[in-house]
């Protein structure tokens, strides 16, 4: 799951997002703290199922669990990725097919970005995806 999220970061031009960019040196605690302070994106949109989730506002690729990276949310009981939610955060590049490997993903919301290319065909076979919002 961490690998897939790192691929998502690099494929969508992470490092040039408006918020939640990885620090230059993830081993430097000062840089990690500064990057975390610049991340305020939550993956907290409406959930009609009301599953308990865990989320945070840590910068991406930091040593914290990827469930705590801004814009992500995981199921509380499994820590499996439940949601990726970025609205207007400057995502660009392409959506990677590897996201399909997040087998418990229910929400993929990446609105108002500058992503290009086609939607990976693998996205058509998500088992649990309820909302795919790419506008």
pLDDT for residue 67 is more than 80 = yes
Rounded to an integer, what distance in angstroms lies between the CA atom of residue 16 and that of residue 108? 20
Rounded to an integer, what distance in angstroms lies between the CA atom of residue 133 and that of residue 111? 6
pLDDT for residue 82 is more than 90 = yes
Q: Which helix (H) or strand (E) holds 27?
A: none
The radius of gyration computed from the CA coordinates of the chain, to the nearest angstrom, equals 14
pLDDT for residue 46 is more than 90 = no
Task: Specify which of 19-28, 40-49, 103-112 reaches the highest per-range mean pLDDT.
Answer: 19-28
What is the mean pLDDT of the segment spanning 69-74? 96
What is the mean pLDDT of the segment spanning 58-66? 97
pTM: 0.94
What is the mean pLDDT of the segment spanning 107-115? 90
Beta bridge partners of 115: 93
Percent of the chain with pLDDT over 70: 100
pLDDT of 60 reads 98
């Amino acid at each position: 799951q961490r690998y897939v999220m790192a691929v998502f970061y690099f494929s969508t031009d992470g490092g040039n997002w408006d918020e939640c960019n990885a620090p230059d040196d993830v081993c430097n605690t000062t840089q990690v703290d500064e990057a975390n302070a610049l991340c305020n994106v939550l993956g907290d949109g409406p959930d009609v199922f009301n599953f308990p989730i865990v989320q945070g506002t840590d910068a991406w690729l930091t040593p914290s669990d990827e469930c705590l990276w801004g814009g992500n949310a995981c199921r509380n009981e499994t820590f499996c990725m439940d949601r990726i939610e970025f609205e207007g955060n400057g995502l660009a590049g392409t959506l990677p097919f590897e996201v399909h490997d997040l087998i418990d993903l229910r929400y993929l919301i990446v609105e108002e970005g500058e992503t290009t290319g086609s939607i990976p065909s693998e996205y058509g076979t998500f088992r649990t995806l309820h909302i795919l919002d790419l506008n």
